[in-house]
Structures are given as structure tokens and as C-alpha cells.
Amino acid sequence: MSESEHVQNDPKQGFIPQEGLVAAHLVEALKPFSEENGGPLKVELLTYKEGRPNVKITYPGTDPTRTLGFIGSHMDVVPANPESWDRNPFELTIEGDKLHGRGATDCLGHCVMVTMLMAALGEHKPVLERSVVALFIAGEEGAEAGVGVDMVVNAGKIDELKNGPVVWIDSADSQPCVGTAGVLQWHLKATGRLFHSGLPHRGINSLELVNEACAEIQKRFYKDFPAHPDEKKYNFSTCSTMKPTQIEIAKGSLNQLPPWTKISGDIRLTPFYDAGVVYKTVLGYVDDLNANIGQLPTRGPCSKYTLDLPDVDIKQGLLELEFSGGIEDIRHMEGIACNLESPGLAALTEAFKAVRGKGEPYAITGSLPLVREMQAAGFDLQITGFGLSSTYHADNEYVLLSDIKDAFLVLLRVISAVDKTQELPKAEGGGAAAAAPAPAAAAAAGSVNAEARAEALKAPEEGDVPTLAEKHIIYDDDAAIGKKAPTLGTLDYIKGEPVVMGKGKPVCIVFWSKAYKGDYTTLRDVSKIHDVFGDDIQFLGIGIDPTKEDAESFLKKIGTKMPEIYIKQPLKVNFPLAYDTELELKGAFKATAEMLSLGASAVFLVDGDRRIVWREQFAPAPGHMVAKGLLQEQCRRLILGEALVSCGARPVEEEEEEEEMDMGGGDDDFDW
């Protein structure tokens, strides 16, 4: 607790945490049982920003292929204002069963408890089949990228935890938490016309406008995203909500109509709705209101949102809505519906019953970072915590010592119960079977076979690397190579989990269309690459049909034979598919690559820093198919950090003809 003042996290207030100070205490407590002192514990500092490490502790089991993880407890805290506390927030104050101090509940108390658990394993050396792995993370309170668990996951430092249950320890109230919500923070600004309040008919009152607009947007939100039937199944305390929480207004006197007013708030979205769809839909509400601003109710006969006076400079009020962060930041905070059939959940529930007298899983519309993405990546994630939700982030924060003692016993029981339990069979997304319902279910992707992957990573024999026909060559100076790929924006996912770029893991993007059946072979063959490299590279299909309904109808083709188009076995597409709303991504990639047209079977390979490193245009069989191209070899080299195959510089005399290749599935106009 003595370090809590130095690990406050709020960059806007100038608080940058130094989690290394907390980490030093944890490592010191484990030192007598560490490998360096002859003990069994492997202690690692995983640092991606100076002074801000993550701490990983491993107690090895006898079977290296089976694991149990305790992760999520973080070493930073929210700021505390000593003037509003009755005690010093940066000292541990003990009052009976209460332990007061910033971080007692969230989350330094959890860090200490899990450290003592790992120390007990190191001291008593029980023989376990499963390795037990604990991970303390940096940068949680600021939802920062590039510091904490996102970097640990992207670097593959806890990949072994896909081999068993993972318990995220950062909730409250000593029960299993099986669901959380996503969060979208929004800011709605109304611009009106400043005027004397004695002549309101000559002004536009932005305060009235923004309140009426906010009410209408909320009304539409609850109509389009009502309570979902699965919320009852998961015992969510509330449905998805959209509400204002703050207001800001232009400075002025009481006898003036304010020229602008901003209302801010958030959307808490249960995991059964897609955040990208909500993002796009809410922005659409505002576009519609601006186009039909007269439909909003006014307040009295002199309240107006449009002015038809000839001598006024502003004729109509304006509404603007923006979200905090881009869509990828919002994806980072999406909610999770945990796997209700997980042995980890069963063990947690039974452990709470034994220690606390009851085990009652619940769900809450609070938010945790990265949990949805980790579930999609194949982690069987469960959530619990032992602090008090009533004191989270509060003045005079405290935790009960008796709860921490119970927590120790609960986790010991979980270790004992899970150690002998077999995993559930893997579903097609890499997660355990019977996970969360769509859209939170994992992408339909088969688990990567380790032997097949190892074989695919071997260097090809000399002469086995395909040589591209001249019209299919992508030269080293191609306009797309080296550029930042467009962000994935507001894609509407119709199969599998959202894909996030720029988090250290490469992405292979293939454009497709239900209308171009000849290009189904491209999806089939890219899926084969996914089946060996899917743990190393994310794969994503972007549908470019005219309507979402067209794209969704393609899903019926999966699992069927189509010998007339060279698909002689049931079609497999083992990676996420999304619909490109308004063809935004198609246009963005076309512009980035400076292409004359972009159609189905266009493939882009993007590295972990979101830079395009390769692109290739495939065509229907028997044209330029994936097996004849360089895509798999380029993927192999990207995974191993090797230089990609070079096709040299574009010959000057062929510069005008480079884009005249067979574009496979048509051009921008879908002229079928």
C-alpha cells in the first residue's frame, strides 16, 4: 500500500504509474521460493515500457500441456484525493476487519493475495499435473495499449494458458462473474445561435436542442438494442444502457441563449450485441436528426431549431456526436460472456459454496479490457474477485481481511479441483465448447495442429517457391507495400469474433463476395493457410456484396460441395467474416494501394505494426489460385521474422500496365 501514491494512473491528470515499485515487493516476497534460490517458482518480468513491468510466476506441473491461470490483477490504481478521505489513502490503515487504502480492493489486495498463494505453492511443493501461472499486469486503470496484458498476449508469453481454465481476478463480491459489458463513451454537441433570451425566436437554444436530441437518441437506442434474452441466462443485473452523465456549456450570462452545449455519457453494451454495429447505428441517428431536425420537439411556441429570418447568419442547429477513441479502442473494451460449461467455472462455483456457503454466478455491466479478445484467441476465461464493489474507486476504499483469507482458500480449492479435470473438447473457434452465444461466440476456426504448423514453417526446398506469372507479380515498389493499412473501422461481423490490427499480431485480409462463386476457391485455400498459421496470424474475410443480406447468404454455402466451381469437398472457411458496410474498407484499401479497382480475391498481408507487407490478387480456378501464389510463403517468412520473397522493382516500361491483371471478382460497380 505504501507504493499506491506512485502507481496512480490517469495521464490526463499527469499520473503515470510506476508499477515496477509494486513489482519489486512481489518479486522480493517470492524470492525464497524462486528458481534462482533453488525453489520451483519461475519469476519473469515482462517489460514493454521502462519502469512498468508485468510479473509472471509459474509453478510447474508434471504435464507441460495442461495449465491453470490466475491473471488480471493489476499493479496500478485510480487516483485518490487525500482531502476527501478520512484517512491517508496512501497508507494501510487497519480497523478491525477492514484494511483501508487506495488499491485495497482494486487491485493491490488481489496482487498480495495471489502472491501469497504462489509463495505457498513454492514452499510446500505439492505435486500437480497442471502448471499454475499467475500474471500481474500494468496499465489496467488507464486502459492503455502497449504496456500490459495486450503486449503479453501478443508476444505469446502466456500462450500455454490456452491449455486450461484462466481466472481473471479483478472483480468483486466473492462470487464467480460470468459476464461483463463493453463500454462506448460518447459526446453529443449541439451548436445553436447565441441571442438575447428576451428574443428567443431569433436564436437557437443549444441547451434545449441537445437535451431533446439526447432523449430521441436514447429512445432509438433502446428500440434497436433492447434487453437480450441471454442476459437472463447469464444473470446480468441490467440490460444494455445508454445514458448521459456530464454536461458542458458555453460560458455566458443568464440572459443569453447558449451557442453550444455538450452532453457526454456512455453506452454499456452486453456481449450479445456487436459494438461495431452500435457505433455505426448511433452515428446514423445523428445524421438522420440533422437531416430532419424539425422532427425534434421544441419547448414552447418561441423555441426553434431552424430560423427562416433573412438577417440571421445561422439558419439551423447542428448536432455532432463522437466517441472516445476509434472503433479498435472500443473493441479493446468489449464485454464477455464466459463459457458456462467450463471446468473452471464449475470449480469456482463449488469452491465458493464450500468456503462461503454459496456459489451464485452473476454478470455485471462493468467493463474489463481485452477479455473479449482473449476469449476469441482461445483462452477459457472466467472472472472473479474478492474486494467490495461498494468501495471500488471510492473514497475510503477498503477490503475485508476475512474476504482475502477466504479468497486464498477458494483459489486453493480451484487448483485442487481443476488439476485432475479434463478440458472440454475445443469448439471451432479455439475456445471451449458451448461458449457464449453469438456474436460473442468464437470464430469458427479449428485448432491449429502443432505438427502441421511445424511442418509448414520448414523452409521449402530450392525451386519449390512458386514463380509468379508476369501479370500476377507484385513488385517491391508496389504502392501498397510499407503503408499503414486502413483501420478495420465499422465492419459488421457475420461470423466469428472481431479482428484487431496493430496489436503486435499480423493480419491476413481477403476480400470476397457471395456473388462471385468462382472466387470461393480463394476463401477455401486461404482457410488452409489459416489452419496451420492461425495461432500466429489473424485471418479475416471482408465481404463486399451490395447488401449485408447477400453476404450473410454466403454462410449457407459453407459446408457444401460445389464441384462445378472446383470445390469437391465441403467448403471450409475457418476464420471470421465481416460485411463491409457502405464498402468503406474496400474504398480505403483501394486508395491506399492506388489500385484502379479492387474486387473479390484481393488479399493483403499486414504486419503487427499495421503495415502492409504483401498483397496478391487471386482469380477463379483455373486462374491464379492461392496454391500457385506466394501468400503462404510470405506468411511463413513473416512469422519467422525472415525477409519476404522479393519480386524486384517494377520494370519502367510496364508501369502503366501493372494494374491490368485479372482482378478476379469484378470491380467497384459489381457489374454482374
Instruction: Show which residues are catalytic.
Output: 76, 140
With b for 16 or more beta-carbon neighbours within 10 A and e for fewer, the 162-185 pattern comes to: bbbbbbbbbbbbbbbbbbbbbbbb
Residue 264 burial (CB < 10 Å; 0-12/13-18/19+)?
Answer: middle
Non-local (6+) Cβ contacts of 402 within 8 A are 97
Cell of 553: 447468404
Amino acid letter, residue 209: L
Please report how the helices 206-224 and 275-291 are oriented relative to each other, as an axis angle in degrees rounded to 10: 140
Q: DSSP states of 588-602 as a string?
A: HHHHHTT-S---BTE
CA atoms within 13 A on the CB side of 33: 21
Q: Are 537 and 506 in contact (CB under 8 A)?
A: yes
CA distance 504 to 607: 8
What is the enclosing helix (H) or strand (E) of 550? helix 548-554
CA atoms within 13 A on the CB side of 486: 18
Q: Are 584 and 615 in contact (CB under 8 A)?
A: no
CA distance 159 to 379: 9
Instruction: Give the pairing type, strands 577-579 and 241-249.
Output: unpaired
Integer-rounded Cα radius of gyration of the chain: 28
CA distance 576 to 566: 23
Amino acid letter, residue 21: L
Residue 475 burial (CB < 10 Å; 0-12/13-18/19+)?
Answer: middle
How many residues make up the chain in this entry? 672
User: Scanning the structure block, which residue is given the C-alpha cell 503503408?
Assistant: 483
Phi, psi of 13 (to 5 degrees): -95, 5
- Omega of the bond leading into 338 within 30 degrees of 0 (cis): no
102 dihedral zone (left: phi>0; alpha: psi -120 to 50; beta)? beta
168 beta partners: 71, 383
Non-local (6+) Cβ contacts of 626 within 8 A are 521, 522, 525, 526, 528, 529, 618, 632
Cell of 500: 484487431
CA distance 280 to 579: 13
Phi, psi of 563 (to 5 degrees): -60, -25
